[in-house]
Amino acid sequence: MSDAAVGRMASPLGWPGDPTAHRPGSAGRPSPLGWPWSRTTPIPDTIDPTVSEPEQSAGAEPGAQSESGSETEEALMVDAGPQGGSPDGAATDASHRRIREVLDAATVSRETAPDPVSRETDDDLPIAIEARRAVAVLNPSGEAMPRPPATRIMCVANQKGGVGKTTSTVNLAVALALHGSRVLVVDLDPQGNASTGLGVDHHAGIPSIYDVLIEGVPLADVAAPVEGVPGLLCVPATIDLAGAEIELVSVVARETRLRRAIEAYDGDLDYVLIDCPPSLGLLTVNALVAAREVLIPIQCEYYALEGLGQLLRNVDLVKAHLNNDVEVTTILLTMYDGRTKLADQVAAEVREHFKDIVLSTVIPRSVRVSEAPGYGQSVMTYDPGSRGATSYLSAAREIAVRGAKEAAAT
Ligand SMILES: Nc1ncnc2c1ncn2[C@@H]1O[C@H](COP(=O)(O)OP(=O)(O)OP(=O)(O)O)[C@@H](O)[C@H]1O
Ligand SMILES: [Mg+2]
């Protein structure tokens, strides 16, 4: 390839064709950075300190400036070489002088440089922190949380919609199962969100909780294993359940259908988590009758506490007439947004009112939590290193530890 062809080619870094054309100080033009050298100017290997200033500046007036008086243009004149009319020797002298000036002007700092060695260890890097969180969540070493002496049946209820009932059911169930507990999730909402979140098939017509409540099919026949989470089963809900509220009205012992199904379940379970619909109808009543514990997720938002009184009254009614054992044992604050004062106010008010049944763990509002169901996963498996996953893990641990303490105290 000819030199001319090489010259026309653009460089891979985007330099224009002629590799010499726009080099600093080339072609008799000053570089924007003020480089004094040109292709025609020999670069001195060393500066002879014995050469005196007048000698160095021979051929150029000390401090001589161009017409415009700018230093850059001085370099231009020198740089121009034969075209500019200056001899090469003068250019060299001018360069020496400039370097000398720069060296003389330079003040040497006696300050020691800041410690160049980072004291940060690899363990402090964000990726390492996230990896540690993921390991804690996925628990490859099989560390177990305390398991209850008897099955804990928890109804996750709040008639207010969208407060995090399903998200909490799914993620707490996965967290408990990943830490050695055997867990059954009962999806009692015709929307079937818990089934979706656990990646369990729930299209119309498949065996589901509807068959259990209306047809008396055993729970074990409809419980499906959750992929990737050993020890976790899910009884799915299909759209068929939408009609169950009305159909149940004429069924014998309509409020205790779920309770009987759970009592008849033969497997060894540590937890049954029931995800309720956002209503206080017969489905929720079935859950309250079946459960010993009620877990109420409360969203850290303005209307969070409205309607809670009605839920508590319903729990009292069920307790008085249908299930003496049921108690509100756990309140979980969800979708906490630390940037708002409102979230703090709601959290403080809930804690003041419900005291120590409120878990100290608060679930933050997090995009990862809301993305996970789209992949048929809990946030625990979708992004185990995220804050949402860590928070649900810590809430699950609190639930397990509190349960164990209470069991030990009785
Ligand atoms: N911590 C969180 N951060 C961000 N989004 C969340 C969080 N928790 C829940 N969400 C999202 O908020 C919406 C409502 O949550 P979820 O479905 O769990 O509430 P719900 O009480 O079960 O609703 P419903 O009353 O309809 O059954 C969902 O889109 C969910 O992904
Ligand atoms: Mg729900």
Q: In the chain, what is the straight-line distance between the N-terminal and C-terminal CA atoms, in Å?
A: 92
Alpha-carbon 109 to chain mean position: 45
- Residue 25 sits at φ, ψ, to 5 deg, of 75, 0
User: What is the pLDDT at residue 59?
Assistant: 37
Per the confidence metrics, is the pTM higher than 0.85?
A: no
| Pairing of the two strands 224-225 and 232-235 | antiparallel
User: What is the pLDDT at residue 120?
Assistant: 66
Quote the CA–CA distance of 73 and 100 in Å, as a whole number: 19
The sheet carrying 183-187 orders its strands as: 224-225, 232-235, 183-187, 271-275, 152-156, 293-299, 327-336, 358-364
187 lines ligand 1 (CB under 6 A): no
Sequence-ordered list of residues with C-beta below 8 angstroms from that of 20, at least 6 positions apart, any chain: 7, 26, 27, 39
How far, in Å, is the centroid of ligand 2 from the Cα of 162?
7
Which ligand 1 atom sits nearest the alpha carbon of residue 334?
A: 1
Sequence-ordered list of residues with C-beta below 8 angstroms from that of 64, at least 6 positions apart, any chain: 74
Which ligand 1 atom sits nearest the alpha carbon of residue 168?
A: 18
User: What is the pLDDT at residue 279?
Assistant: 92
Going residue by residue through the chain, which has 410 residues, state the pLDDT in tens, using 9 for 90 and above.
444 444 444 444 444 444 444 444 344 444 444 444 444 444 444 444 444 444 333 333 333 343 333 443 343 333 434 444 445 667 677 777 777 776 777 655 556 655 666 666 666 788 888 888 888 888 887 888 999 999 999 999 999 999 999 999 999 999 999 999 999 999 999 999 999 999 999 998 899 999 999 999 999 999 999 999 999 999 999 999 999 888 988 888 899 999 999 999 998 999 999 999 999 999 999 999 999 999 999 999 888 888 899 999 999 999 999 999 999 999 999 999 999 999 999 999 999 999 999 999 999 999 999 999 999 999 999 999 999 999 999 999 999 999 888 888 87
User: What is the pLDDT at residue 73?
Assistant: 39
Which ligand 1 atom sits nearest the alpha carbon of residue 161?
A: 25
Domains of the chain: 3-105 (no CATH), 149-409 (3.40.50.300)
How far, in Å, is the centroid of ligand 1 from the Cα of 311?
19
| Pairing of the two strands 271-275 and 232-235 | unpaired
From 158, 166, 362, the mutation candidate for ligand 1 (largest count of ligand atoms within 8 A of CB) is 166
Give the closest ligand to the alpha carbon of residue 167: 1
Contact 200, 275 (CB under 8 A): no
Q: What is the CA radius of gyration of the chain?
A: 38
Quote the CA–CA distance of 71 and 54 in Å, as a whole number: 19
